[in-house]
Structure 1
Amino acid sequence: MSEPVNLNRVRKARDRAEAKARADANAVKFGRNKATRSAEATRNARDRAVLEAHRSDDEGK
């Protein structure tokens, strides 16, 4: 005879596996951590400031 199966344990293991798969998919989709976002924002702000400093006064007229 085979060993009895605890259905709650099987259900919870299946739910954990589905949640992990969903989390992995979201990590690929949205995947930047806070430090990376912060560094990119700082770099973008610095780049905008450099461009603004090199803008001539008569541009856009």
Structure 2
Amino acid sequence: MGEVINLRMARKARARAEAAGKAEANRARHGRTAGDKARDQAEQERLRRTLDGARRDGED
């Protein structure tokens, strides 16, 4: 015979696991310092300037 499980407890455990995954994603997205954000923004700006500098003007 199979193992007896409590469905209420299983649902709560699944909900906790989903909440923990969502919380981890939010920490990665929003839990950065101002220095990290400034560094990423500077890197994006540098990449944009490099790409714009390599453009050929006048060609269509």
When the two structures are superposed, what TM-score results if normalisation uses the length of structure 2?
A: 0.51
Deviation at 1:13, TM superposition (A): 0.4
**Equivalence map 1:1-61=2 (5 Å):** 1-32=1-32
- State percent identity of aligned pairs: 51
Aligned length: 35
**Distance apart, 1:2 and its partner CA:** 1.1
Distance 1:17 1:2 in 2: 24
Tell me the secondary structure at the aligned position of residue 5 of structure 1. coil
Runs of 4+ deviating beyond 3 Å: none
CA RMSD of aligned residues (A): 1.5
Q: Distance in 2 between matches of 1:3 and 1:23?
A: 31
* CA-CA distance at 1:4 after TM superposition: 1.1
